[in-house]
Amino acid sequence: MSEAPIIEIRGLRKVYRVGKVDVEALRGVDLQVSRGEFLSIVGPSGSGKSTLFHIVGGLTPPTAGVVRVAGDDVGAMSDATRTRMRKQTVSFVFQKFNLLPNLTAGDNIELARYLGGKDHSQDAGFQEALDLLGIAHRMGHKPSELSGGEQQRVAIARAIVNHPAILLADEPTGNLDSANSGAVLEVLRDLNERLGQTILMITHNPDAAAYGHRTVHMQDGRILEPG
């Protein structure tokens, strides 16, 4: 018997009310993501990519359809349950690094561990992730003392410190030059291949999308190709 998908989306619709007008951001999206898959989602601005991420990540509820994340129905969750899901099941990496400037890299990561309800005991799995990220020697430095690529790798470490089942990466290389972009994408691929991290990545760059196992294309709130 095959394993159930870690993300299952059927007939997903999302409608926003803008003044007196209904804006349909998602128009019947169907998608399945296997555990341990690295999926790239590409499409123009306004295609619905970020809305899809926000629903999968529990940041906003769907209007209609079914979204199951790790077996749980996101649409049926209370606000408190969605908050718990963001602490335990899914985590985000954004284009902006969003590191606290007055804390060291290590303290930024430890704060995420604390907020996720984890203790500060030695974590061999996380130490392996730090080694993959190549930032173990930069833990005592503040964000202003790090390059853009190093800051994004710290942001990735912060996102995976509590071992989320799913990592949602929204244009993770958007603020980086080509060299740092390549380094960050290699890190994501290593996390996927060596640690089995499930990754969904939004990108407008087809070269970046190629780092995933599969690419789906979105336009006007719909998926155009299954990949």
**Could you report the per-residue pLDDT of 122-178, keeping only the tens digit for each?**
566 667 777 778 888 889 999 999 999 899 889 999 898 888 999 999 999 888 888
pLDDT(10) > 90: yes
pTM (predicted TM-score): 0.89
Domain, as residue range, for 175: 36-48+83-225
Residue 15 is assigned to a structural domain of this protein: no
Alpha carbons 95 and 167: distance in angstroms, whole number: 14
Q: What is the crossing angle of helices 124-133 and 148-160, to 10°?
A: 160
H/E stretch holding 12 reads strand 7-18
Residue 99 is assigned to a structural domain of this protein: yes
Residue 91 is assigned to a structural domain of this protein: yes
Residue 115 is assigned to a structural domain of this protein: yes
- CA-only gyration radius of the chain, Å: 17
Residue 27 is assigned to a structural domain of this protein: no
User: What mean pLDDT is predicted for residues 12-18?
Assistant: 93
Residue 2 is assigned to a structural domain of this protein: no
User: What mean pLDDT is predicted for residues 72-83?
Assistant: 90
Per-residue confidence at 72, pLDDT binned at 50, 70, 90?
very high
Residue 177 is assigned to a structural domain of this protein: yes
CB 137 within 8 A of CB 117: no
For every residue of 69-101, DSSP letters joined together read: ETTEEGGG--HHHHHHHHHHTEEEE-SS----T
Residue 150 is assigned to a structural domain of this protein: yes
115-126 burial code (b ≥16 CB/10 A, e <16): eeebeeeebeeb
- The CATH code of the domain that includes 124 is 3.40.50.300
pLDDT at residue 115, rounded to an integer: 80
Alpha carbons 205 and 105: distance in angstroms, whole number: 28
pLDDT one-digit tens code per residue, 33-60: 999 999 999 998 889 999 999 999 999 9
Please list the residues that pair with 64 across neighbouring strands: 13
Q: How many domains is the chain built from? A: 1
Residue 215: CA count within 13 A, CB half-sphere? 14
Dihedral sign for Cα atoms in the order 95, 83, 128, 158: positive
